Amino acid sequence: MLAKRIIPCLDIKDGQTVKGVNFENLRVAGDAVELACRYAEQGADELVFLDITATVEKRKTLISLVQAVAKQLNIPFTVGGGISQVADVEALLEAGADKISINSSAVREPALIETLAKRFGSQCVVLAIDTNLYEQDWWVYVQGGRSRTDRKLLDWVREGEARGAGEILLTSMQHDGTKNGFACELTAQVADLVNLPIIASGGAGKMQDFADVFTAGKADAGLAASVFHFGEIPIPTLKQSLREQGIACR
């Protein structure tokens, strides 16, 4: 079994780190640069930075904030939000990102996945998928979870792999911010479907939730926000708990 990764996520709106429930009722969770510094010190394996309103507001990710966060890190750093062309990725990598995350733009123009994978390598391209249950099926949502598309989750996962994505960041909107546990059954279904690392997102509330998504959910990484931002689960304690259960961590 490959060592599992613990990944804090900074959801950014108006330059502030925020967190909500089911993608709504956002509250401020702290300064992005301070949080990034704390997570690097605590032993996080990677950090994800998502400018969650960049697509809706039709603007680019906040480059200056990415630069400031990157200066605090010595771990892999993924950035997403408002990325729609090669120049956006070049700017973010130059600002200090190691990987980029695409979501709405990939659904709108699937060939973008191939373009970026060929230009920067699949290891640089994370396909973020926001999904929710509608009429007994899981569908892909875009624009920060505001719009349901005509794409079914499993079809899109297969296509994303075929087009060259290097990882899948899977967020269950139904579980997001609830702290009731990850969507383990769904995550396992996706993990069984493709030969890509799956980052599970949405629902972390206690340390056992990470153990569950790494075992029953077959995830390669667990991503969370509020439980880390508000100090509910210290990363060193979480890793120790996982190791005690026989789950290898980085």
Amino acid letter for position 133: L
Active-site residue identified among 45, 88, 130, 212:
130
Residue 174's alpha-carbon distances to 24, 68, 186, 225, 243, in angstroms, are 11, 32, 11, 16, 29
- Rounded to the nearest 10°, the torsion over CA 177, 15, 34, 43 is 50
Cα–Cα distance between 49 and 42 in angstroms, integer? 17
Biggest CA–CA distance in the chain, Å, is 46
Active-site residue identified among 11, 45, 212, 220:
11
130 is catalytic: yes
Cα–Cα distance between 136 and 134 in angstroms, integer? 5
Supply the DSSP symbol for 244. Answer: H
51 is catalytic: no
Question: Which are the catalytic amino acids?
Answer: 11, 130
